[in-house]
Amino acid sequence: MIPETTGTEGETLIAKVMSTVRSRIASRALTPGAKLPSIRSFSTNLKVSKSTVVEAYDRLAAEGLIRSRPGSGFFVAAPLAPLSLADLGPKLDRQVDPLWISRQALESGDDVLKPGCGWLPPSWMQEEGLRRALRALARGNASTLVDYGPLLGLPALRTLLARRIGLRGIEVSPEQIMLTESGTQAIDLLCRFLLKPGDTVLVDDPCYFNFHALLRAHQAEIVGIPYTQTGPDIAAFADAVEIHRPRLYITNSALQNPTGATLSPLVAHRLLKLADKAGLTIIEDDIFADFEETPAPRLAAFDGLERVVHIGSFSKSLSAAVRCGFIVAPRAWIEPLADLKIATSFGGPGFSAALMLALLKDGSYRKHMEGVRQRLARAMAETTTKLTQIGITPWLEPQGGMFLWCKLPDGVDAADLARRALAKKIVLAPGNAFSHAQTASGFLRFNVAQCQDERLFRELALLIA
């Protein structure tokens, strides 16, 4: 008898064993560190010879996927990162991967232009106020500096937040507010609280790209709802609710990221009626609130915090280095959310909260943000003109904020443009990073505060041509 492991047939059988092992590892039926079936039992199960299994295991070991331990068998190699985000969803082009833009924006040096970045340049922030607040805290009381703060976070900051949120029509008591380390952590805690793997979540299409990454980390099914100039497409929303029975909808009501659009009262009302009927929870991410000239309607205001949870942070307006966010939730949710916060991050933003309080109490913050809004309005007008001149057209004239969602000339692919722009030290934010349906390949998101350098428009014109 010819040994099975030689010749074409032998190769086919070895490949079959290898692919069986690979798919068991991919499906996590075999997790890193797990022992592989013994050669004898595997050969019986797969109806191949023992030498075929030996050869397959040896090749997999050579690939580094499994490791042999003399005397005890084969094991799945350990540093395999089983739950890497990249493994959880369809493999995207890394250049339009939701995490790619974040990495580029965070990692690039000062000589790089970042119109694709999601925050203001440091020089736009309230640096002097922050220095003043730091000096004040350096003289302040010791426990603010060294002790864990109270469970829900600094009471004085929660009281001030309740008042500020009240100005947007959302009536809330400080006991309904819990401080978190960031706006993203606030949404993450809520997802842990509300979702189990496989639950469906609705997002706007386009939406903030990190929602995709976050929801992938929760192993949620994502369904995108086309976003119109006045909010999500209500007919599509109604259909999605009916078909997918989602658990959650995550959105921005005002100055939506990336479009800059604002929800109309009509759409808000219809949305809430649908959510109410279906028992859907809504997370309203409101981190750009202080960039609005006139407060737009908030879902949480219409709903009275029954099924809408409101979140915010200070990363965009005060400081991204000093981490502090918050959750505004129905009263009954606060205790279990606090338990979850203790379990997963123990303390809250003790010192950061004190710093935010010092800054917000100070009347200079209001004045500073007035200045930022005026400066952004000017930058918005200038950037619109310059982009239009090179054939890049805003989809909407936003009522405020820093984002401009723009259509590229026909035939120009945003991901391709982003790749080529990176070689010129320009970080762009290509549309499909924001689009779950991958239907925004002709769009880019610009941050007008990061479009102050003429080189950007010259290079873009060349890259497009």
**Per-residue interface string for the shown chain with a copy of itself, residues 257-276, x marking contact by CB under 8 A:** -------------------x
Q: Closer CB to a copy of itself, residue 92 or residue 461?
A: 92
Rounded Cα distance, 120 and 372, in Å = 10
Pick from 340, 377, 412, 464: which binds a copy of itself (CB under 8 A)?
Answer: 340
Q: Closer CB to a copy of itself, residue 249 or residue 457?
A: 249
Q: Which of residues 413-442 bind a copy of itself (CB under 8 A)?
A: none
Q: Which of residues 136-165 bind a copy of itself (CB under 8 A)?
A: 137-139, 142-151
Give the closest residue to 440 by CA, choosing from 412, 420, 399.
412
In the complex, least distance from residue 21 CB atom to a copy of itself, rounded to whole angstroms: 14
In the complex, least distance from residue 77 CB atom to a copy of itself, rounded to whole angstroms: 8
In the complex, least distance from residue 276 CB atom to a copy of itself, rounded to whole angstroms: 7
Is there binding between residue 383 and a copy of itself (CB under 8 A)?
no
Rounded Cα distance, 203 and 218, in Å = 14
Task: Say which residues have a Cβ less than 8 Å from residue 218's Cβ, sequence separation at least 6.
Answer: 191, 192, 195, 197
Pick from 92, 112, 130, 369: which binds a copy of itself (CB under 8 A)?
Answer: 130
Is there binding between residue 34 and a copy of itself (CB under 8 A)?
yes
Rounded Cα distance, 272 and 287, in Å = 21
In the complex, least distance from residue 126 CB atom to a copy of itself, rounded to whole angstroms: 8
Is there binding between residue 302 and a copy of itself (CB under 8 A)?
no
Is there binding between residue 54 and a copy of itself (CB under 8 A)?
no
In the complex, least distance from residue 66 CB atom to a copy of itself, rounded to whole angstroms: 10
Rounded Cα distance, 99 and 105, in Å = 10
Q: Look at residue 66 and give its three-state secondary structure.
A: strand
Pick from 20, 345, 364, 438: which binds a copy of itself (CB under 8 A)?
Answer: 345
Q: Closer CB to a copy of itself, residue 86 or residue 243?
A: 86
Q: Look at residue 76 and give its three-state secondary structure.
A: strand
Other residues' Cβ atoms within 10 Å of the Cβ of residue 142: 7
Task: Say which residues have a Cβ less than 8 Å from residue 71's Cβ, sequence separation at least 6.
Answer: none
Q: Closer CB to a copy of itself, residue 10 or residue 115?
A: 115
Stretch that binds a copy of itself, among 1-9, 11-19, 72-80, 453-461 (CB under 8 A): 72-80
Apex CA 283: angle with CA 281 and CA 285, to 5°? 170
Rounded Cα distance, 287 and 298, in Å = 12
Q: Closer CB to a copy of itself, residue 279 or residue 295?
A: 279
Q: Which of residues 187-216 bind a copy of itself (CB under 8 A)?
A: 188, 192-197, 199, 210, 213-214, 216
Rounded Cα distance, 372 and 150, in Å = 33
Is there binding between residue 363 and a copy of itself (CB under 8 A)?
no
In the complex, least distance from residue 459 CB atom to a copy of itself, rounded to whole angstroms: 24
Is there a contact between 383 and 451 (Cβ–Cβ < 8 Å)? yes
Q: Closer CB to a copy of itself, residue 74 or residue 446?
A: 74
Number of residues lying near a copy of itself (CB under 8 A): 104
Is there binding between residue 42 and a copy of itself (CB under 8 A)?
no
Stretch that binds a copy of itself, among 8-16, 223-231, 338-346, 439-447 (CB under 8 A): 338-346
Pick from 29, 78, 437, 462: which binds a copy of itself (CB under 8 A)?
Answer: 78
For residues 229, 231, 236 and 238, what is the CA-based torsion angle, rounded to 10 degrees? -150
Rounded Cα distance, 117 and 438, in Å = 20
Give the closest residue to 379 by CA, choosing from 362, 359, 403, 352.
403
Pick from 160, 238, 320, 422: which binds a copy of itself (CB under 8 A)?
Answer: 320
User: How far is Cα of residue 367 from the mean position of the Cα atoms in its chain?
Assistant: 30
**Sign (positive or negative) of CA dihedral 257, 262, 268, 270:** negative
Rounded Cα distance, 230 and 315, in Å = 26
